[in-house]
A = this chain, B = another copy of it.
Amino acid sequence: MSFHDALTHHIQSHNSLLCVGLDPDPARIPAHLGSGATAVYAFCRDIIAATQDVVAAFKPNIAFFEAMGPAGIEALAQLMTLPRHNLWILDAKRGDIGNTASAYASAAFDQFNADAITVNPYLGGDALAPFLERPERGAFILCRTSNPGSRDIQELPLADGRPLYMAVATMAQHDWNTQRNAGLVVGATQPAALAEVRQLCPDLPLLLPGIGAQGGDLAQALHAGLDAHRAGLLINTSRSVLYASAGTDFAQASRAEALRTQAAINAIRFA
């Protein structure tokens, strides 16, 4: 099954476009879980158990595990061995050339058994190839990110009049998605850019960070980003679900917040 088909399956079977980003900040883990990598593992494990029937995907952010050193990477590796009921996207923003890109792809797909990874297009198509050579594993390519500095490079006007990120979207659509396993990352904070990308790339799944803490408007993002089947989109949320409560009820609170967001998305999606 291609990665695109697997994504469609998980969106349908969970009736959800929601993706929960696992960006565990040690300072915000509920105190009763203790501290260190063991606490981070327990925290993520319980969030996953409480929300896995409500979301299409989980997106662990490797930076937060790497920042804890080898014990953090071990905690991530353990999380990646939990029984799977969702897509797992390793948020790693990797990008390098030749045998280094192959090593990163092996880390993501063999060591961590991720279904997909986020990647950076700056090094070009040959650097992306190792992440796209397995049809059942996907790569979400950074296109237009949700931060203010995204204008520095991504919005630079090209000689043909387009902003750079539209050239990235064009290559993803025409050159890089040969096995139905490429997607794009487009920030929910720029609905106009999102609409342009969706028009150019009708069949590519889009991963949207920027709802919630970063201020993106859910209805605008959905109207701009949904595909012809009212799907093809993952709406990421991290902090609002992860830190819904700092108490012993954190997992139930994360479930309630995930259910609330799922319902809000579907109310717009099926209106």
Contact = CB atoms under 8 A, between A and B. Distances in A.
Contact of A93 (B23, B74, B96): B96
A150 B125 CA distance: 8
Contacts of A61: 100, 103
Nearest to A149: B124
A154 B103 contact: no
Interface of A is mostly: helix
Contact of A149 (B23, B126, B151, B168): B126
Interface residues of A, number: 58
Interface string A96-134: 111111011011001100000000111111111000000
Interface of A: 23, 25, 61, 63-64, 66-70, 73-74, 77, 91, 93-101, 103-104, 106-107, 110-111, 120-128, 142, 145-154, 156-159, 161, 164, 167-168, 171
16 contacts: A23-B99, A64-B103, A69-B111, A93-B120, A97-B145, A122-B122, A122-B142, A123-B142, A123-B149, A123-B153, A127-B145, A127-B147, A153-B164, A153-B168, A156-B159, A157-B158
